[in-house]
Structure 1
Amino acid sequence: MKVSRSASRSKSEFMIATLRNEITAGKYEIGKYLPSELELCSLFGISKMTVRKGLEVLVEEGYIEKVPRIGAKVVSSIHANIITLRFGYYPSLVQEAKLLQLIERFHERHPLLRIQPIPLQYPAHDRYFSSYFQELKLDLMSINAQDYEDMRDLSLLEPMPRNEGVYRLLNTPFMIEEEAVAVQPFVFTPVILCYNKEHFRENNVPEPDACWSWGDVQEASRKLAVPGNRYGLVFHTLSDNRWPLFLLQNGVVFEPQADGSYHLANDQKLKDALATCKELMSDESLFPIHLSRSDNDIKDLFRRQKVSMMIATYSTLNGLQPQEDQGRQLRYDIAPVPFLQEAKSLLIVIGLAVSKLSEHKEAARRFVEFMQSEDAQLFLRKHTLSVPALKSAAEWSGKETMNRPPRFHLFRETMNTFRYYTDLNLSHRQLSLMRDELTLYWANLESLDSVLQKIEDKLAQCNDLHAK
C-alpha cells in the first residue's frame, strides 16, 4: 500500500523527535552510532529516503554526523543554536485558523525552531509585500491570491513543489511552473449565503437552495424583514469579495483595445450587473447603506439576529460561535451564493510563502510543510469553521464540538462554480480603481454613464503605468 506524503511526514517527525529525545536522555552516547538506515526503516515504518531526510535534520541540529559507509554517529547530546523564523501573518488567522495554537504544536515537534509571529499591517502603497520581505526581514509570510498579484517582485519568493494532497484548484493563482508554486495553499473559502434557520421557519419561507437567484433572495428578504427590528439581507457591498460577484455572474470580461483603452459605455452585461447590485442596495427591506461599513459589522448584525441573511465566507462563520450575551446557540445554515445569469462564486485562498532572502529557507519550508500536514490541517478543521486546503482534512467527518452549519460540506458540491476575480481579466489594482468610482454611482451622486467614463480613463492610466 502506498503511504501518503502527509503520513510519511508525520512518521518522519515522530522518528526525529524519538531519536532526539533518546540522544538527549543518554541512550545513544557521544561517539556511538544510531541504528542503521534499514533498522530505522523497520522501527518507524518509513522508507529509506524518508529516514535519510530525517537524519539530515539531526545533522543540522548538531546531534549527529554522517560517516560515509558506516552510519550516523552521535556528536552531541545538546542541541545546537535555535533557529528563529520571522513569520508575517494576517491577524485574522489568529481566530480563523487558530494560528498561535498551530505554532505551539510546531514548536513541540521542532524544539530547535522557533516561530516569531509578526502581524502584517497594510500600508497605502501597492508594493508593500516586497518591502515586508526586505525591510522586516521576514523568512516567510501568509499571502492571499489578491495580495500575491499586487506583489510586483515575485523573484523574492522561493519555489516549492506542489502538494498533491491539496485541492488542485487552490494552486491556480500561485503556479510558476507545471509542478511548482510560489505560495502553498493553507486555507480557503468561497463566498456563500448564510441564513438564520429560525427566521425562515417562523415566516414559513422555504430555505435557500442552489437554484436561488438574486430575485429570489430579494423576494424572501421582503417576507423576512421586520420594520424597525431586522432586515432581510445585508452584505458589505464595497468588499472586493462581494461586488465583483455580479460581474462574474453576468459573464463580464474586460477586453482592452489595441491601444490599451477600455470601452465600457456599450457593455450591457456590465451595466446590468452594476444595476442589479444597486437595486439590491436600494431595497429598504435589505439594508441601509450606512450600516455596511465592514464585513465585521455585517457579521455582528447577523449574530444579534438583526439580519436574516448575509453574504459571507466560511471564515466569517468563526465569529458566529456562542457569545456571552447569547442565551443559546444561533441556528443557522449556509447555501450557495445567489446567481444572476450564471452560478458562480468568488474563491478566496490564503497560502504561505518562503522568502528567497531568508538565511533559513530549509527551516522555513519545514514550517510550511507542517502547516499543510494532516496533523495541522485536521486540527484546523476540528477547531475552526474555516476550510483547510488539504482535501483529506477538509472532507473529514466525525464528532463535532462546534456550532457548525448542517451544510458545512457545501464547498464540495459547488467547487465547479468557484472563480477568481482574475477571470474578469482585470488586476486587483484595477478592480480597486473601479470600486472607488462606483461608490458615487451606488450613492446616487453620479450617473452610471458618467462613472463608467471615469473608470475608462483610470483603467487606461493604470495600463500606461504598468507598461512603464
Structure 2
Amino acid sequence: MSGKTSQRLFRVRLEQMVGQLRQQITGGVLTPGGFLPSESDLARQYGMSNKSVRQGLDVLAQEGLIRKIPRVGSQIAERPVQPAATVTLGVNTSLERDIALSALLEKFHREHPSLRVQTMTLPGNAANFVKEYAANGLADAFLINRQYFQSMEESGLLPTLEPLSADPGAYRFLNDSFTADGLLYARPVQFSPVVLCYNTEHFREAGLPGPDSSWTWDDCLAVARLLAEQRGGYGLYFYERSYNRWPVFLLQSGMRFERDRFGECDIAGTPLLDSIRLFGRIIHDAVIFPNMLSESNDDIEDLFRTGKVSMILTSYTSLNELKHTAIAYDISTLPYLCEPRTLTVPIAACIRKSSPSPRKEAALVLVDFLSSEEAQRMIRCETLSIPALKSAAEAAAEDGLNRPPRFDLYRDILPSMRMHHDLNLTSAGFVMLWRMLKLYWSRVIDEETLCRDIRENLGEHIRQEAQG
C-alpha cells in the first residue's frame, strides 16, 4: 500500500469516527455530562493512532459537542446543538486532497451550526455510481466529474437532479459542461487540466532548456532520452491505464469518433490511428519509460518526487502531492501531435431532487457554500487545484505551498482544454474502446485487427445507442 493510499485510508477512518460520534451526540445516544471512550479505546475501535484520534476530537470540540478536560477525558457538552438537518454528501476519496474537503466542511459547520454534513464515498466508476444512485436514496448531494454527469444523462437520470442557478462568475465552459436542455444540473466547484510537469534541477544539470509550447512529442521523447542516458532513471512517465491520461493523445488527433455512411467507425489512415500508435511507441520505449512501476497515479508522483523520473504527465489536482515538498519543479503545456490539446476534468456539486425537506434545503445551502467566493478562495489558498470561480482562481495566494512558478499556465491553455465527451463516445462506447486499445497496446492484437474491431464493434455499438 502506498503512502498516499494510507493517507486517504486515514482520512476515511477519521471522518467515520467523527461522523459516528457526532451522530451519537446529536441523536441523544451519548447524553450530556457523560464521557466518550478513552483515546486509546477509540484508537483501537477505529484503527488509528492516539494522535489521529485527538485530531478528530478537536473537530468535535470546535463544534461545541464535547469539552476536553485535561487528564480526565472528553465530556459531552451540556447542551449540544441539535442539527435542524443532516445532509449526506457523496464524494470521491481524492477530494480531501483536491479541495481540502475537511477544512471546507469545518468552516461550513461553524457558519451553519444548525446543519450537519456527513460524507459517503461514491463508487469508483461512473457506471457503478449510476446503478447505486438509481437504486437508493442514500445521498442528498454529490460532487461528481463530467463523466459521471454524462452517465447520468445517458441513463435518463438528470431530471432526478434539482436544477440550479448558474454562477456567472464561474468559467463559462464549466457551466456549459453541466448544462442539458438549457438547465444547469450541477454547479462547478473546480477543474483540473493535464499538463507536463518536469524536474527543473534535472534539466539544469543536463544543460537543457525547459519544455515550452512549441514542443512536439518527438521533441519531448528526444529530451527524455537524453535525460535518461545522462542521469540514469527515466525521462518520461505517466499512468498509462488512467482514463485521464491516454484519452489526451486521442484528443490531440483533432478528430472524434464518427460513423461513416455504412454506420461504422473507420480510423484506418487517420490522425486518430496516428495518436494510438504514438501512445504505444511511448509506453514501449524501455529507455525512457519504465514498466511495472505503477499501480496508480499516486505511484507516478512518488517516482517524480524521489527523482527517479524527470517528466510526468499530471493534473493540477495531482500536483497537490507536491505542495508540501521541497522539490524544484515547474509545469508546461503538453507536447502535441496534430493539435495542441489537453484534457481537463471538472468537478461539480448536484442535489437529489427527491431528498425530503429540510435535507434538500440544507443541501442547497451546502452547494451554495461550496461555490461561494469564500469557499473557492479556500480551495485556492489551501490546494494547488483551480477553483471554478474565476475571481478566486486568479486571486493572489501567499500560502507557503510549493507551487510551480508557472502555476497560472492554465489561463493560457483554456482554449486547448477538452473533455472526454469531445471524443463523441457514449460512456459504454468509451469503455469498449478502452478494452480494444488495451489489447492493442499490450500487443495481443495487431493494428489491422484493432482497426477492424473499432470499425465493426464500436461503430455498431454507437449506432445502437443512437437508435435506442
What TM-score, normalized by structure 1, do the two folds share? Answer: 0.78
Gaps of 5+ in 2: 1-79
1:223 aligns with 2:222: no
SS at 2:292 equivalent: helix
1:148 counterpart residue number: 149
2:373 counterpart residue number: 374
Deviation at 1:347, TM superposition (A): 1.3
1:71 counterpart residue number: none
The 8 Å contact of residues 144 and 347 in structure 2, kept in 1 or not, is answered as yes
The 8 Å contact of residues 85 and 115 in structure 1, kept in 2 or not, is answered as yes
Deviation at 1:154, TM superposition (A): 1.4
Deviation at 1:240, TM superposition (A): 1.7
Deviation at 1:81, TM superposition (A): 5.5
Task: Name the CA shift for 1:132/1:231 in 2 (closer, same or farther; >3 Å).
Answer: same
The 8 Å contact of residues 197 and 314 in structure 2, kept in 1 or not, is answered as yes
SS at 1:290 equivalent: coil
2:175 counterpart residue number: 171
The 8 Å contact of residues 304 and 312 in structure 2, kept in 1 or not, is answered as yes
Deviation at 1:126, TM superposition (A): 2.0
**What's the CA shift string for 1:291-349, capped at 9, x where partnerless?**
243211111111111000000000111111346xxxxx000000011111111111110
Please list, as runs of the form range in 1=range in 2, the aligned pairs for 1:327-366 lying within 5 A after superposition. Answer: 329-359=326-356, 360-366=359-365
Kindly provide the amino acid, as one letter, of the partner of residue 171 in structure 2. Answer: Y
Q: Aligned match of 2:241 in 224, 238, 242?
A: 238
Task: Name the CA shift for 1:104/1:398 in 2 (closer, same or farther; >3 Å).
Answer: closer
1:441 aligns with 2:440: yes
Gaps of 5+ in 1: 1-77, 324-328
Task: Name the CA shift for 1:260/1:155 in 2 (closer, same or farther; >3 Å).
Answer: farther
Kindly provide the amino acid, as one letter, of the partner of residue 137 in structure 1. Answer: L
1:317 counterpart residue number: 319
SS at 1:115 equivalent: strand
The 8 Å contact of residues 377 and 388 in structure 1, kept in 2 or not, is answered as yes
Task: Name the CA shift for 1:231/1:314 in 2 (closer, same or farther; >3 Å).
Answer: same
Kindly provide the amino acid, as one letter, of the partner of residue 268 in structure 1. Answer: T
Please list, as runs of the form range in 1=range in 2, the aligned pairs for 1:147-296 lying within 5 A after superposition. Answer: 147-151=148-152, 152=155, 153-178=157-182, 180-226=183-229, 229-258=232-261, 260-265=263-268, 267-296=269-298
Q: Distance in 2 between matches of 1:241 and 1:81?
A: 39
Task: Name the CA shift for 1:441/1:289 in 2 (closer, same or farther; >3 Å).
Answer: farther
The 8 Å contact of residues 234 and 292 in structure 1, kept in 2 or not, is answered as no
SS at 1:205 equivalent: coil
The 8 Å contact of residues 248 and 344 in structure 1, kept in 2 or not, is answered as yes
SS at 1:291 equivalent: coil
Q: Which has the larger radius of gyration?
A: 1
Kindly provide the amino acid, as one letter, of the partner of residue 440 in structure 1. Answer: L
Deviation at 1:243, TM superposition (A): 1.5
SS at 2:283 equivalent: helix
Q: Distance in 1 between matches of 2:450 and 2:295?
A: 22
- Which stretch shows the higher mean deviation, 278-287 or 253-262? 253-262
The 8 Å contact of residues 425 and 462 in structure 2, kept in 1 or not, is answered as no
Deviation at 1:395, TM superposition (A): 0.4
Please list, as runs of the form range in 1=range in 2, the aligned pairs for 1:34-45 lying within 5 A after superposition. Answer: none
SS at 2:189 equivalent: strand
Q: Distance in 1 between matches of 2:230 and 2:430?
A: 35
Q: Distance in 2 between matches of 1:387 and 1:429?
A: 29
What TM-score, normalized by structure 2, do the two folds share? Answer: 0.78
**What's the CA shift string for 1:356-414, capped at 9, x where partnerless?**
11113222111001001111110111011111111111001142310111111110111
Deviation at 1:276, TM superposition (A): 1.1
1:423 counterpart residue number: 422
Q: Distance in 2 between matches of 1:398 and 1:354?
A: 31
The 8 Å contact of residues 240 and 432 in structure 1, kept in 2 or not, is answered as no
**What's the CA shift string for 1:129-160, capped at 9, x where partnerless?**
35236514211001100111112121111110
1:129 counterpart residue number: 130
The 8 Å contact of residues 247 and 274 in structure 1, kept in 2 or not, is answered as yes
Kindly provide the amino acid, as one letter, of the partner of residue 330 in structure 1. Answer: I
Q: Distance in 2 between matches of 1:181 and 1:396?
A: 26
Q: Distance in 2 between matches of 1:221 and 1:419?
A: 26
CA RMSD, Structure 1 to Structure 2 (Å) = 2.2
1:82 counterpart residue number: 84
Kindly provide the amino acid, as one letter, of the partner of residue 215 in structure 1. Answer: D
**What's the CA shift string for 1:436-466, capped at 9, x where partnerless?**
1111221222211102222333324533653
Q: Distance in 1 between matches of 2:317 and 2:82?
A: 39
Q: Distance in 1 between matches of 2:321 and 2:369?
A: 26
The 8 Å contact of residues 130 and 156 in structure 1, kept in 2 or not, is answered as no
**What's the CA shift string for 1:29-56, capped at 9, x where partnerless?**
xxxxxxxxxxxxxxxxxxxxxxxxxxxx
Q: Distance in 1 between matches of 2:460 and 2:393?
A: 43
The 8 Å contact of residues 190 and 313 in structure 1, kept in 2 or not, is answered as yes
Kindly provide the amino acid, as one letter, of the partner of residue 281 in structure 1. Answer: I
Total equivalences in the alignment: 384
Kindly provide the amino acid, as one letter, of the partner of residue 337 in structure 2. Answer: L
2:304 counterpart residue number: 302
SS at 2:118 equivalent: strand
Kindly provide the amino acid, as one letter, of the partner of residue 445 in structure 1. Answer: V
The 8 Å contact of residues 318 and 385 in structure 1, kept in 2 or not, is answered as yes
Q: Distance in 1 between matches of 2:128 and 2:463?
A: 17
The 8 Å contact of residues 137 and 358 in structure 1, kept in 2 or not, is answered as no
List structure 1 runs of 4+ shifted beyond 6 angstroms: none
2:404 counterpart residue number: 405
Kindly provide the amino acid, as one letter, of the partner of residue 141 in structure 1. Answer: F
Task: Name the CA shift for 1:461/1:290 in 2 (closer, same or farther; >3 Å).
Answer: farther
